[in-house]
Amino acid sequence: MATSRIQLILDMNNRMTSRLNAARQQVDRATGGMQRRMDAFRVSNIEAFNSLRDEIPGVGRAFELIGNPIVTAGAGIAALGFGIMKATEEAARFSGGFRQLQMLNLDKSVQDMGNLKEMIREPSYEKGFDPTETIKAYFDVQSVTGKYGAEVDNIVAKQGEFARLMQADFKNWVAGSAKAMANYGFGTEKLDAFNKAAFATVQTGVTIFDELAQVQSVFAGAAAASKQSFVAADKVFSIFTVKVKDVNKAATPIV
């Protein structure tokens, strides 16, 4: 009885050993094939790299530098330094532009000017406007319309967004809108109607938004003096842009 049990255990051990050997051989074949493919891939890449290095001077040195941790760290430090330098330049430009706006608001308190600075930064970062151009836009709107604070903020934000949507020049469109507001005597409540009339003018006339922004200041005063609305003046202008080649000449009959 004991002998049969021993024989049974030996048979089971032999079968397990046989299966393990078969599995090991299968794994060896798989890994060997994978290794051969990796070796072939490595050789082909080395050959391609050598060919590239022979044909293009400096490629080999460039790859060596990429693998150098000191060079990699130096590149990171250089990029960081460039970023800090760029941010410092932007901050200097912002401060320089804001000083011009401060001169326009000498009657305001330090706290008021601090609030104004934060008000300018908000549309710059939230809407992606250029900070320096945003300050100039605030200056143009306030100096032309006499408005301040939240009203200027609404004008710059709305007209700046419209300019970006229409792919017009941010500065020209905001400044042109401010001049139109001053000449026609309307407030922020009519800006949507003003933009709608401008869009219709560009659609029907032979002009673009940047040109319209520049010539509107030419005919806006005369049109307003003759009791024309900006809608009527834009329509007349769009008609003349079809008849003449130059937008400045198209604006002349309205004047």
User: What is residue 189's predicted lDDT score, i.e. its pLDDT?
Assistant: 95
pLDDT at 157: 93
pTM of the model: 0.61
Structure-model confidence comparison of residues 85 and 177, the more confident one: 177
What lies within 8 Å, CB to CB, of 210 at 6+ separation is 168, 169, 172, 173
pLDDT band at 58 (very low <50, low <70, confident <90, very high): very low
pLDDT for res 185: 93
Quickly state the pLDDT bin for 56 (edges 50, 70, 90). Answer: very low
Q: What is the pLDDT of residue 128?
A: 84
Pairwise CA distance, residues 121 & 115, whole Å:
10
* pLDDT, mean over the chain: 75
The CA-to-CA distance between both ends of the chain, in Å, stands at: 124
Residue 205 has pLDDT above 60, yes or no: yes
pLDDT in tens, 146-168: 999 899 999 999 999 999 999 99
Taking residues 87-91, report their average pLDDT.
59
pLDDT at 161: 93
Per-residue pLDDT, averaged over 212-220, amounts to 84
* Mean pLDDT value across residues 101-116: 90
* Number of residues that make up the chain: 255
User: Domain segments of the chain: what residues?
Assistant: 2-61, 110-254
> Do residues 131 and 90 touch, judged by C-beta distance below 8 A?
yes
pLDDT at 60: 52
Q: Give dist(CA 163, CA 9) in Å, integer.
A: 88
